[in-house]
Amino acid sequence: GDSVTQMEGPVTLSEEAFLTINCTYTATGYPSLFWYVQYPGEGLQLLLKATKADDKGSNKGFEATYRKETTSFHLEKGSVQVSDSAVYFCALSDVLTTDSWGKFQFGAGTQVVVTP
């Protein structure tokens, strides 16, 4: 079945450092790919998404490009802030088939800790 693998955390880095979180996926169809973020004590919220190959999703300085050839959707940010400390989840879902929409496959999550 469909699955998502992302790098384990925690990832600890200093403010203004470059952040990369690797994510690869396995899917039989043509899924949409997502990054969700979870701040302490809160639910997940959508950070960015890409619906087809070569699409780039971006939001709040974060970017990720849907690479079909490498089945990857790595998350990057050029200069992190302390407020970016959170758990980041890579996910996929077949949103083209409405009957199955919502059956997201989430990665295990990567905790990011940014220190001043």
Binding residues among 17-36 for another protein as defined by CB under 8 A = 32, 34, 36
Indicate which single residue of 107, 110, 112, 114 sits in contact with another protein (rule: CB under 8 A): 107
Looking at residue 98, the DSSP 8-state letter turns out to be T
For residue 34, count CB atoms less than 10 angstroms from its CB and return exposed for 0-12, middle for 13-18, buried for 19 or more.
buried
For another protein, which is the closer residue by CB, 17 or 63? Answer: 63
Residue 69 C-beta: closest distance to another protein, Å: 22
3-state SS, residue 100 = coil
* CA–CA dist 43, 40 (Å, integer): 8
**Residues at the site binding another protein, with contacts judged by CB under 8 A:** 32, 34, 36, 41-46, 49, 51, 89, 93, 95-96, 98-99, 101-104, 106-109
